């Protein structure tokens, strides 16, 4: 599966499993390389040596190792690619594809893929309500025996609703995604999908001020998807807001270790790590965390916030001048 979680966000063949297993608030797009990979010649394809030449090493009678070729782009990935170049054109193309695919009388893979592409592009365009409706339509095309795929799309609908400030609606979608239990022993994919739904549920509960329930949802998320850095970032933030700085530090360290390989959550994790360090009286550690955000994503919103914090505490003190007491940074937006 192209999109299945290791994330998550946030999935496509006859339920082209690379279409319907992508979850999370910011679905990550993946497009196979459009360039063909040259296929290495096998023994029978190597021309015989000319008189006097040394036979080529591949003519030893040992078959050459099989070479993987790049998968052909699907219409879904091409749909997203159009949106990458021109968002408005991508939305128009997705709508045209959806209208074409919707003519099928029964649940259909193309219909579901078209609706998911439209939802992802509408979310990028800022139309959270339209994106929510598109993800719900996509979920409606998933066969009854593909519960994880349907739950993933319902989670995407919940994230779209949450992006639009509709926390109650979002909570309903997350609860719906979690309602059906796997018909057999849970697979890693089932757990990843359910873990992402619990993370979304926690975010909605925080927005509704139901913090104890949010904490419980995050505990479930850690159990189901222990390698998802977003869950640990959220639990660190929640602990910091509850003034449990020891727990916050422990959880942000887990988040940072999971996002160490270039995860897009790196800047938010670095920003939160600096806030936790500052509130714990470790100004130097806070400065380093915020400086890492500037280095990692200098044009991001997190970098702008980090720069503001760094301006407040000033440069690191020199050995000849004692450090002045620094005020804690303002509470990040809740």
More confident residue, 43 or 241: 241
Q: How far is CA 126 from CA 121, 130, 248, in A?
A: 9, 9, 32
What's the pLDDT at 319?
61
- Distance between CA 298 and CA 330 in Å, rounded? 21
Please identify which residue in the block is written with the tokens 């937006």: 333
Structural domain contains residue 287: yes
Number of domains in the chain: 2
What's the pLDDT at 189?
82
Among the candidates 137, 152, 174, a domain finishes at 174
* Burial category of 213 from C-beta neighbours within 10 Å (exposed 0-12, middle 13-18, buried 19 and up): middle
Structural domain contains residue 44: no
Domain interval for residue 265: 256-316+325-334
> pTM of the entire structure?
0.72
Please identify which residue in the block is written with the tokens 């359910």: 194
Residues 284 and 139 occupy one common structural domain? no
More confident residue, 190 or 169: 169
What's the pLDDT at 46?
41
Tell me which DSSP letter residue 3 carries: S
What's the pLDDT at 109?
87
Is the pLDDT score of 10 beyond 50?
Answer: no
Among the candidates 139, 174, 209, a domain finishes at 174
Mean model confidence pLDDT for the chain: 79
Q: What are phi and psi of 321, to 5 degrees?
A: -130, 120
Residues 167 and 263 occupy one common structural domain? no
């Amino acid at each position: 599966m192209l999109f299945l979680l290791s994330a998550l966000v946030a999935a496509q063949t006859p339920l082209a499993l690379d279409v319907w297993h992508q979850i999370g608030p910011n679905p990550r797009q993946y497009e196979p390389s459009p360039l063909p990979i040259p296929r290495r010649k096998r023994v029978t394809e190597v021309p015989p040596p000319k008189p006097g030449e040394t036979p080529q090493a591949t003519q030893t009678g040992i078959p050459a190792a099989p070479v993987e070729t790049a998968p052909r782009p699907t219409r879904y990935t091409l749909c997203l690619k159009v949106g990458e170049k021109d968002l408005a054109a991508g939305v128009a193309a997705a709508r045209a594809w959806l209208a074409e695919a919707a003519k099928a009388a029964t649940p259909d893979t193309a219909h579901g893929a078209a609706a998911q592409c439209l939802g992802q592009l509408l979310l990028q365009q800022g139309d959270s309500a339209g994106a929510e409706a598109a993800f719900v339509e996509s979920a409606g095309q998933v066969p009854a025996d593909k519960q994880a795929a349907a739950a993933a799309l319902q989670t995407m609908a919940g994230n779209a609703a949450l992006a639009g400030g509709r926390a109650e609606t979002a909570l309903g979608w997350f609860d719906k995604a979690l309602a059906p239990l796997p018909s057999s022993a849970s697979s890693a994919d089932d757990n990843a999908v359910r873990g992402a739904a619990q993370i979304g549920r926690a975010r909605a509960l925080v927005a509704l001020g139901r913090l104890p329930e949010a904490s419980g949802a995050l505990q479930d998320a850690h159990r189901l998807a222990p390698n998802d850095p977003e869950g640990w970032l959220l639990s660190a933030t929640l602990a910091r807001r509850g003034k449990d700085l020891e727990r916050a530090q422990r959880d942000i360290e887990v988040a940072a270790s999971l996002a160490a390989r270039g995860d897009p959550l790196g800047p938010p994790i670095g920003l939160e790590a600096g806030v936790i360090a500052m509130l714990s009286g470790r100004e130097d550690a806070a400065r380093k965390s915020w400086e890492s955000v500037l280095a990692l994503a200098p044009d991001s919103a997190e970098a702008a916030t980090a720069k503001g914090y760094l301006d407040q505490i000033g440069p690191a003190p020199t050995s000849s001048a004692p450090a002045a007491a620094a005020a804690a940074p303002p509470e990040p937006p809740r």
